[in-house]
Amino acid sequence: MKRVLLICTTKIGKTGITNVVMNYLRSFNTVEIKFDLCAINNPEQTYIDIVRNQGGNVYVIERLGKTVRYFKKLTHLIRVQGYDVVHIHTNSHTAILELLAAKIAKCPVRIVHSHNTTCKSVLLHRMLTPFFNLLYTHGLACGMDAGRWMFGNRPFSVINNGVDVVKFSFDKYKRNAIRKILCVEEGHFLLGHVGMFNGVKNQQFVVEIVSELCKKNEKYRLVLIGDGEQRNKVEEITKNLNLEDKVFFTGNIDNVSDYLSAIDLIVMPSLYEGLPLALIEQQANGLKCVVSDTITQEVNKTGNVTFLSLNSPAEKWAEIIESINNVEDREIVSQNAINDIILAGYSIREEAKKLEDYYKEIIK
């Protein structure tokens, strides 16, 4: 049996990278490979169970502020366990820390998997490039843009962020139930956003857009799904704009798919992204999505995504949202979108098999 260590350089939680990794772990169907997970924080039991259900173990080694200790412990783990593959999920070349640990521990296959098209410290990313290029052996990416960001002109393979399309299909009964919980009435138009409150997701701008919409029509409502360090700041902005009765904060929830059915349109003005899994899920639900043009065009698998510049003011975003035709039968739109997503190669079952085959090939 071959052994793979999955390493996430970001915290395991309600994040895009975590969702991608866990979706694949749930969908792998092989007895030839054992998967372990190394996390830089203590994951929720739900995530631990997913790894254990695949026969793997979870190792926690704190990274933030403990770089030397993290490096030594990770090197020791890889050496003692004798992994055939280390698969690092990351956003930048700072993954040289994990790569060097794997190299010293004599792991022959060191995969870097790119999940974004930029990072917080672009200068550091570029400074580390020569060392990064010497240490990794294989490159994977969630899309072409994310691959070019991480690997430049070097070769890499694309593994799509697979989605359980059935789970995210539109459900009118869940729609009615969630809208009742949120006190969203028949004539209201509910906008939605899913993501961590971390600055990059730009929820503040979403609230500003809703403020502009409400100046013209009181029917608009907004639900913000997620949590994070900047939630209090966004809640304060909501209060200052007198939108407390129109904006709902759910915190972290486990039934995001139910809430998607309740939403009428998605707004995602992220400062940067790779190929966000959430947008594929939202399209599968039959939702129209208005997003920033910092997000790769590759994400538009259904024709239901509209791209706008972050240089455009909130008034312009509001104007575009008002103009979008949203009267089609949602069940039909969702089913057509699911068909498009499957044809585009974003079914989790097909992509999981593709990744399994990739592991087996490079291990040979």
Lowest-pLDDT range, 220-229, 237-246, 276-285, 345-354?
345-354
Burial class (CB in 10 A: 0-12, 13-18, 19+), 135: buried
Rg of the chain, C-alpha, whole Å: 21
* 364 pLDDT more than 80: no
Residue 364 has a CB neighbour count (10 Å cut-off) of: 6
Note the pLDDT tens digit of each residue in 135-168. Answer: 999 999 999 999 999 999 999 999 998 888 889 9
Please give the residue range of the domain that contains residue 269. Answer: 172-343
Question: 190 and 278 share a domain?
Answer: yes
Asked, for residue 167, whether it belongs to a domain, the answer is no
pLDDT tier, 24 (very low <50, low <70, confident <90, very high otherwise)? very high
Query: What's the pLDDT at 309?
Result: 97
Asked, for residue 355, whether it belongs to a domain, the answer is yes
- Cβ-proximal residues to 326 (8 Å cutoff; 6+ apart), any chain: 189, 264, 265, 288
* 194 pLDDT more than 90: yes
Asked, for residue 7, whether it belongs to a domain, the answer is yes
Question: 135 and 189 share a domain?
Answer: no
Question: 177 and 317 share a domain?
Answer: yes
CB 278 within 8 A of CB 16: yes
The pLDDT of 234-255, averaged and rounded, is 96
Ramachandran region, residue 302 (left: φ > 0; alpha: ψ -120 to 50; beta: rest): alpha
Please give the mean pLDDT across all residues of the chain. Answer: 95
Question: 89 and 145 share a domain?
Answer: yes
Question: 194 and 122 share a domain?
Answer: no
Asked, for residue 25, whether it belongs to a domain, the answer is yes
CA 299 to chain centre: 12
Note the pLDDT tens digit of each residue in 46-101. Answer: 999 999 999 999 999 998 788 999 999 999 999 999 999 999 999 999 999 999 99
Question: 134 and 260 share a domain?
Answer: no
Question: 270 and 143 share a domain?
Answer: no
Query: What's the pLDDT at 166?
Result: 87
pLDDT tier, 300 (very low <50, low <70, confident <90, very high otherwise)? very high
Angstrom distance (rounded) from CA 310 to CA 319: 14
Asked, for residue 122, whether it belongs to a domain, the answer is yes
The total of structural domains in the chain comes to 2
- DSSP code at position 347: B
Question: 143 and 192 share a domain?
Answer: no
Helix (H, G, I), strand (E, B) or coil at 147: helix
- The CATH number that applies at residue 210 is 3.40.50.2000
Which residue matches tokens 């592991």? 359
Helix (H, G, I), strand (E, B) or coil at 146: helix
Asked, for residue 317, whether it belongs to a domain, the answer is yes
pLDDT more than 70, % of the chain: 100
CB 85 within 8 A of CB 3: yes
Residue 315 has a CB neighbour count (10 Å cut-off) of: 14
Angstrom distance (rounded) from CA 113 to CA 7: 10
The CA-based angle 193-25-38, given to 5 degrees, is 90
Question: 282 and 319 share a domain?
Answer: yes
Angstrom distance (rounded) from CA 312 to CA 154: 35
Asked, for residue 119, whether it belongs to a domain, the answer is yes
* pTM of the shown model: 0.83
Least Cα distance to 100 among 122, 60, 125, 72 occurs for 72
Question: 187 and 308 share a domain?
Answer: yes
pLDDT tier, 285 (very low <50, low <70, confident <90, very high otherwise)? very high
Question: 7 and 95 share a domain?
Answer: yes
The two structure tokens encoding residue 173: 């009964």
Question: 21 and 112 share a domain?
Answer: yes
Query: What's the pLDDT at 274?
Result: 78
Helical H runs in the chain? Answer: 16-27, 45-53, 67-81, 96-104, 122-127, 129-135, 144-151, 172-181, 203-216, 231-240, 256-262, 277-284, 314-323, 330-343, 348-363
